[in-house]
Structure 1
Amino acid sequence: MIQVLFVCLGNICRSPMAEAVFRHKVKEAGLERDIVVDSVGTGDWHEGETPHQGTCELLREKDIDFSGIVARKIEKRDVENADYVVAMDADNMRSIRSLADEANDTKITKLMDFVPRNKIEDVPDPYFTGNFDEVYNMVDEGCDQLLAHIREQSSI
């Protein structure tokens, strides 16, 4: 099984949104037996909480299931076990790299790195901006491209 881990700051806005959207796309593609999806945060402020109300409302509007998603802090084993560690921004990347050894560093990337010809490198945090729609659009496109990449790399 291919393990994909999305990472943001508190694991209540961007990474749970990406987890839910990616799970939805994986299910639509019939790849639930091939790809496992999870999300974590680099901080522990919201551990045990469900996603932010703005994330929940947007996912409900899009009819995307987010059941079972609960915030938790990233651990070294998360990085070791994942095949793809997908950060939402450069700060997340630095935090993840502090947990990873050199061998694992190559599987750490930002979501927007998968979007060709994209000028925006980081997914902004709607916890601070309030713009959940903008973030959803970026996450949706990034997840499409990530899934295409995984399918090509794994021949699935």
Structure 2
Amino acid sequence: MEDSASIRILLVCMGNICRSPTAEGVLRERLRQAGLQGVVETDSAGTHDYHIGKAPDPRAQDAASQRGIDISDLRARQVERSDFDEFDLILAMDQDNFDLLRADCPPKHADKLGMFLDYAAQRREREVPDPYFGGRQGFELVYDLIEEASEGLVDDLKQRLGRSRS
């Protein structure tokens, strides 16, 4: 991680091959577009160790690349205890993963935890569904939800950092 970043965000799903790497790729691009790429740093991880070291699911890569986002270089990793110290915001894709994070999180860092989809203001849903056992349509829906939440999160970050909306 870059030491110059003033805000560090960790995006978390179960295996770190579908939702969270997609969110990492989309959010990085939105941050770049907003001129925040050196100020806000993102990473992603999974609560489980099923896919450590593997690239994102090909269906997730395809959904992202069709919209101009390349996530092929990302590799799955598991959430580590040190992440609770190193990141300022740790956002779960669904309630199950939020609960796992909360169970492992030291009490002094509990305020860093949140739900990623809470940043999609126009959505009632709080969870980004796991598309792993579904088809292409599920990955497209996940991308749409992630896009909305990423836009809301970037707006929130601009306000926190005192930057005007664009």
* TM-score normalised by length of structure 2: 0.90
Counterpart residue number, 1:150 = 157
Q: Deviations over 1:103-134 (max 9, x none)?
A: 21111101111122421111000102331010
SS in 2 for 1:5: strand
Are the counterparts in 2 of residues 80 and 100 from structure 1 also a CA contact under 8 Å?
no
- Please list every run of 5 or more consecutive structure 2 residues that lacks an aligned counterpart in the other structure: none
Counterpart residue number, 1:61 = 66
Are the counterparts in 2 of residues 89 and 124 from structure 1 also a CA contact under 8 Å?
yes
CA RMSD of aligned residues (A): 1.1
36-45 or 123-132, larger mean C-alpha shift = 123-132
The CA distance in 2 between the partners of 1:100 and 1:80, in whole Å, is: 10
Match of 1:133 among 133, 140, 160: 140
The CA distance in 1 between the partners of 2:34 and 2:47, in whole Å, is: 30
Q: What is the percentage of aligned positions where both structures have the same residue? A: 35
SS in 1 for 2:9: strand
- Please list every run of 5 or more consecutive structure 1 residues that lacks an aligned counterpart in the other structure: none
Number of aligned pairs?
156
SS in 2 for 1:127: coil
Counterpart residue number, 2:17 = 12
Are the counterparts in 1 of residues 84 and 106 from structure 2 also a CA contact under 8 Å?
no
Counterpart residue number, 1:75 = 80
SS in 2 for 1:97: helix
Counterpart residue number, 1:107 = 112
Amino acid at match of 1:66: I
Shift of 1:57: 0.6
Query: Is 1:44 paired with 2:57?
Result: no
The CA distance in 2 between the partners of 1:61 and 1:134, in whole Å, is: 13
Are the counterparts in 2 of residues 24 and 65 from structure 1 also a CA contact under 8 Å?
no
Runs of 4+ in structure 1 over 4 Å off? none
The CA distance in 2 between the partners of 1:78 and 1:44, in whole Å, is: 15
Are the counterparts in 1 of residues 25 and 71 from structure 2 also a CA contact under 8 Å?
yes
